[in-house]
Amino acid sequence: MEAYLIAIAVYALVYLLMGLGLNLHYGFTGLINFGHVGFFAIGAYASCLLTLAGYPMPLGFALALLLPALAAIPIGYLSLRLRSDYLAIVTLGFSEVVRLAIINEKWLTNGVQGVPGIPDVAQGFGLPVSGSVAALIVLLIANALAIALVYRLTRSPFGRAIQAIRDDEEAVRALGKDPGSFKIRVFMIGASLAGLAGAIYGHYITYITPEQFLPLVTFYVWVAIILGGAGKVSGTIVGTLALMTFLEGSRFLRDLLPGVSEVEMASVRLFVIGLALILLVRFRPSGIMGDWTSGGTQR
Amino acid sequence: MTVAYLMNLAVNGAVEGLLVGLLALAVTLVFGVARFPNASAGDVAMVGAYSGWLLQSAIVSLGPLSLVFAGVTAMASAALVSLALYWLVFRALSGRVGVYALIASIGAAFVLRSVVTFFLGHDQQVFAVPLTRALSIGPLRVLPIDLWVGAIALAAMVCVFVILRMTAMGRRMRAIADNPQLAMVSGIPAARTMSGLWLMAGALSGLAGCLLGLKTVIAPEMGWDLLLPAFAATILGSVGNPLGAVIGGVIIGIAQEVSTPFVGFTYKIAIGFVVMLLVLLVRPEGLFVARARVR
Amino acid sequence: MKNLQMNRRHVLAGLGTTAALATVGLPVKHARAAGSPAMIGALNPVSGAGSAYGSGMQKAIIMAAEEINAAGGAAGQMIEVIGEDTQTSPEAAVNAAKKLVEVNNVGAILGTWSSGVTLAVMPITTAAGVPLMCTSGAPAISTEDKADLVWRFQATNDRFGRAFAKIADREGYKTAATMAFNNASGIGNTEGFKKSWGGEIVGDVVYEPKRPSYRSELQQVMASNPDVIVMGSYLPDTTIILREWFQLGGKNKWIIPGWAANDKLVEALGAEVCEGVISVESVSNESAESYAHFDKGYQAATGSPASSNVYAAMTYDMMIVWGLAMAAAGEGADSAAVNAKLRDVGNPDGAEVYTFADGVEALKSGPINYQGASSRLDFDEYGDVTPDFGMSVIKDGKIERVAVVSI
């Protein structure tokens, strides 16, 4: 039982770390990024391949922070020129290009065969615990740091500027500030968080293939932050917990429902997720914790 | 590699592009007027394909005529589903930021797919079509079904154009696209106009789903898989521009197929997105922004 | 609109209730004891890319478990199957596997399908000492399985490729082209073929799935006029490719894996298109009683013939063989002890048996050799079955076996 709970906790924390990044993009700055899984994938492959080549894991994590940030720069530039609803589709396309590149660059990524035998987090940091527990510890630290970072960032002048951009970009421009450089920096920071999440995920699961990096992952992160309330750190946390409760809870619900086969349950699960999305957006668009529009900024 | 070889690739790409463009037509209408990328369009197309197939398997003895009925059924049922989605989901979201409607449309897509898989399972289905050999036109080989896809896509585009430009309903749609507040105060019946829009978008999706089902196989994920290229075609051709959506699809299709001798077959999907990105770098609003558009 | 909005407290309360409900459902972890049922995990691709097979695979496991229970259980224990969906996604499969191992306390996990899922689940099951039975083809599974806990009921892709090569020789083909679905299994088949075939390879295409057309890919391989096109493919893409090939007036022969060239393909395309297509699969034991027995049950349970889902026979055998191994290991044996008995009940030198009930009966008087519905079920040192391959040709819409090929 413990190992299963640890597994869920690890997933929740991976999604939380991604969600904190996406919340910076959308919740605080209003950038509609639907390609988050692309940064996640880059981080995962960067760190896993580097450590497999014999380099220490902290170096892998550093690369997982750096590469997605670099990949975010061109996306950031594009976001300056594009309408926000175009950006959603462009970023979605970006994440698919990343996945296709991983599939095709076999010399580097082993293509669709995937990368097996990735060192786990315990080996990487020499911790005297199992790989899962080590991943959990590292994720707790990473999330704590990320939350602290987001808090400080959003209360700084920089944070006030990006929230002003979100609320009224023209006004910011009129004040003589260039929204562009802010947007690009936000894109980079959020991408780094997703990349780090990818690295820890890769070292936790110890086997990565391109099929783990489908747009569905991005949708789940979106669900989490909208569910909890965009533009609030507490919203991301609560939203992620709620998402995980549902995704994992539905397994047990099935065990309780005799006569419903797993085959039908797959349909039922998809139905409930879909319906929940509709109802949420329809009746509680500001999320469980309320979003930036419902007062009490920044938290 | 000969010129004929490349020309045949271009034909393949054009046909795939027209199919994508047909769905993009549905996406661009909603995107232009209701102002969000509707992710349920693909699954509405899938519902259309399944209902067309259900009907056709019941009346297959009618021969080719059964396909006509299947097409009409696909369009009608998809239009109704689309209308239902508008009244139940999207109507209440008008006036909110587009991303909420986008997320709700992803939810609607999941709901539609779950219902279909619950009752009809995951197995592939096919329309009963008599198979015919390809026609040779000079150095080109053309499949008869592809001629149909092309003709129907073009006809659909013309219909949309005529409706938007020459009917009162179309003018009202364009007025709402231009300025919803102004349209409202000038007494345009918003709900009725939007119902017309969603019916039209649904019928186009259903048609796209039916043709895709004819050309390939009918499966629960078929519409969802076509959605991303349709989105790309929509913004490549400028949102709200029906002509642009179809041309955008064709450009992406041709670019993908003609690139294959150079980048291989597994990279070609990426080429579609790269073309889209490059165009947007130069023309951030898409190719046809200044031309005839919904808004 | 305001009155329709739920407030935060309501939503949180609702979530709390859901969580509480979920917790109620957690079974208490219990030691394995006679009287309590033996839990078995059925981890199948019910949704996602494998969805055409997953539900049949799971039903076959449940069917086999019912058969075991009807015969009085295995070593005094009834079997209880817990079904899970891999969603054909490694991530979802890993969570499902952890749940099966930790919460349901299963003795074995049966029926992972895609190689990606099997490779992702293996570290978890192996760490927990739980055997894993799969139908995946990737060769890496054998080499990664260092604890001898992973069992493969399907021939490896490499073996399939070698069987393709033998058949191409047998038919006297001089030139061949290959087309592979871009995943580990598709590429594994065609690479295996290319490695072991002596003839000339004139074309080689790997394609991305889920396309509205494969004409450009076909155009390339057909340009080189091969005698035969060898596929590593699945049913939907094969349906589209063959239809377009026929319309383009192709003349070459085809060698296609049996899971793609089956009755459903003929049903979808008609007899004319499929005429002469060579379908290759690991020989289900169609002549064996176990196959007829399984076919009858499967038809009753799903309404489809067993030949419509080659993996269902494999997962059925997984459950039966595990049950026989439980019986052989005796009451109270743990997973490791049952695991150690798998070769004993499946491999030669023993009375050949075809059903669970007969197997249990025969065990009383000596060793047994279960002849499965999917193959003879003889495991090699890697825990892989080493089936023969059947070469079938489609004639007038009927799939007819013409030869059996041994590697």
pLDDT one-digit tens code per residue, C168-180: 999 999 999 999 9
Pairwise CA distance, residues C80 & C36, whole Å? 10
Q: For residues A195-223, b (16+ Cβ closer than 10 Å) or e, as one string?
A: bbbbbbbbbbbbbbbbbbbbbebbbbbbb
C185 assigned to some structural domain: yes
Q: Is C123 on the interface with A (CB under 8 A)?
A: yes
Instruction: Identify the residue whose tokens are 């013309």.
Output: B158
Residue of C nearest to B126 (CA): C268
C17 assigned to some structural domain: no
The enclosing H or E element of C314 equals helix C310-329
Res. C35 pLDDT band, cuts 50 70 90: low
Torsion of CA A40, A44, A47, A51, to 10 degrees: 170
In chain A, residues with a C-beta closer than 8 Å to the C-beta of C120 are 205, 207, 209
Rounded to a whole number, what is the distance in angstroms from the first to the last CA of chain A?
A: 34
Residue of A nearest to B272 (CA): A93
Name the domain count of chain A.
1
The enclosing H or E element of A290 equals none
Q: Report yes or no: B85 and B44 within 8 Å, Cβ to Cβ.
A: yes
Inspect the interface and report whether the beta carbons of C247 and B9 lie closer than 8 Å. no
Q: Which residues pair with C353 in a beta bridge?
A: C370
Res. C1 pLDDT band, cuts 50 70 90: very low
- Kindly list the structural domains of chain B, giving each domain's residue range(s) and its CATH number in brackets, ordered by start: 3-282 (1.10.3470)
| Res B98: pLDDT | 82
CATH number of the domain where residue C94 is located: 3.40.50.2300
Q: Which residues pair with C229 in a beta bridge?
A: C177, C254
A9 assigned to some structural domain: yes
What ipTM did this prediction achieve? 0.93
Q: Which residues pair with C133 in a beta bridge?
A: C110, C151
Q: Report yes or no: A199 and A46 within 8 Å, Cβ to Cβ.
A: yes
Inspect the interface and report whether the beta carbons of A84 and B36 lie closer than 8 Å. no
Determine which of A231-245, B128-142, B268-282, C10-24 has the lowest per-residue pLDDT on average.
Answer: C10-24
Inspect the interface and report whether the beta carbons of A281 and B281 lie closer than 8 Å. no
Query: Over 70: is that where the pLDDT of B1 sits?
Result: no
C190 assigned to some structural domain: yes
To the nearest 10 degrees (0 to 180), the angle between helices A131-155 and A157-167 is: 80
| Res C102: pLDDT | 86
| Res B295: pLDDT | 46
In chain B, residues with a C-beta closer than 8 Å to the C-beta of C178 are none
Inspect the interface and report whether the beta carbons of C235 and B20 lie closer than 8 Å. no
A255 assigned to some structural domain: no
List the single residue in B126, B132, B257 with the smallest CB-CB distance to C268.
B126
Res. C9 pLDDT band, cuts 50 70 90: low
| Mean pLDDT calculated for residue range C89-94 | 84
Q: Report yes or no: A44 and A64 within 8 Å, Cβ to Cβ.
A: yes
List the single residue in A206, A252, A263 with the smallest CB-CB distance to C55.
A263
C224 assigned to some structural domain: yes
- Residue (of B122, B120, B148, B147) closest to B52 by Cα position: B120
Pairwise CA distance, residues C355 & C372, whole Å? 8
| Res A189: pLDDT | 97
Res. C6 pLDDT band, cuts 50 70 90: very low
Quote the minimal CA–CA distance from C117 to chain A in Å: 10
C25 assigned to some structural domain: no
Pairwise CA distance, residues B191 & B163, whole Å? 18
> Maximum Cα–Cα distance for chain B, whole Å?
61
List the single residue in B121, B133, B265 with the smallest CB-CB distance to C217.
B265
In chain A, residues with a C-beta closer than 8 Å to the C-beta of B285 are 83
Which residue of A25, A77, A84, A86 is the best one to mutate when testing the B interface, meaning the one whose CB has the most B CBs within 10 A? A86
Torsion of CA C242, C244, C246, C252, to 10 degrees: -60
List the single residue in A5, A205, A267 with the smallest CB-CB distance to C94.
A205
Could you say which residues of chain A have pLDDT below 50? Answer: 295-299
In this structure, are C277 and C394 located in the same domain? yes
Quote the minimal CA–CA distance from B165 to chain C in Å: 32
> Maximum Cα–Cα distance for chain A, whole Å?
65
List the single residue in B92, B99, B107 with the smallest CB-CB distance to A277.
B107
In chain B, residues with a C-beta closer than 8 Å to the C-beta of C264 are 123-124
A98 assigned to some structural domain: yes
Pairwise CA distance, residues C262 & C280, whole Å? 10
Write down which chains contact chain C via at least 3 CB pairs under 8 A: A, B
Inspect the interface and report whether the beta carbons of B124 and C205 lie closer than 8 Å. no
Pairwise CA distance, residues A71 & A195, whole Å? 10
A61 assigned to some structural domain: yes
Inspect the interface and report whether the beta carbons of B111 and A282 lie closer than 8 Å. no
Inspect the interface and report whether the beta carbons of C184 and A290 lie closer than 8 Å. no
Inspect the interface and report whether the beta carbons of C223 and B5 lie closer than 8 Å. yes
Mean pLDDT estimate for chain B: 92
C2 assigned to some structural domain: no
A289 assigned to some structural domain: no
Q: What residues make up the domain containing C330? A: 38-155+287-370
C29 assigned to some structural domain: no
In chain C, residues with a C-beta closer than 8 Å to the C-beta of A209 are 90, 116, 119-120
With the C-alpha atoms ordered B249, B250, B255, B258, is the resulting torsion angle positive or negative?
positive
| Residue A53 CB neighbours (<10 A) | 8
**Residue A170 CB burial class (10 angstroms; 0-12, 13-18, ≥19):** exposed
List the single residue in C85, C90, C184 with the smallest CB-CB distance to A266.
C85
Which amino acid belongs to residue C140? A
C24 assigned to some structural domain: no
pLDDT tens figures, B81-124: 999 999 999 999 987 878 899 999 999 999 999 999 999 988 88
Which amino acid belongs to residue C299? Q
Quote the minimal CA–CA distance from A206 to chain C in Å: 8
A168 assigned to some structural domain: yes
Q: Is B2 on the interface with C (CB under 8 A)?
A: no
| Res B14: pLDDT | 96
A144 — alpha (psi -120 to 50), left (phi > 0) or beta?
alpha
List the single residue in A85, A92, A222 with the smallest CB-CB distance to B103.
A222
Instruction: Identify the residue whose tokens are 């990320």.
Output: A146
Q: Report yes or no: C401 and C390 within 8 Å, Cβ to Cβ.
A: yes
The enclosing H or E element of C7 equals none
> Which three-class secondary structure state does DSSP give residue B208?
helix
In this structure, are C334 and C259 located in the same domain? no
Q: What residues make up the domain containing A70? A: 2-213
A270 assigned to some structural domain: no
pLDDT tens figures, C62-78: 999 999 999 999 999 99
Pairwise CA distance, residues C13 & B293, whole Å? 48
Residue of A nearest to B227 (CA): A89
In this structure, are C202 and C305 located in the same domain? no
Query: Over 90: is that where the pLDDT of B49 sits?
Result: yes
Q: Which residues pair with C255 in a beta bridge?
A: C230, C278
Inspect the interface and report whether the beta carbons of A278 and B111 lie closer than 8 Å. yes
Query: Over 70: is that where the pLDDT of C3 sits?
Result: no
Q: Is C93 on the interface with A (CB under 8 A)?
A: no
In this structure, are C274 and C343 located in the same domain? no
In this structure, are C143 and C63 located in the same domain? yes
Query: Over 50: is that where the pLDDT of C17 sits?
Result: no
| Res A259: pLDDT | 67
Name the domain count of chain C.
2
Q: Report yes or no: C331 and C75 within 8 Å, Cβ to Cβ.
A: yes
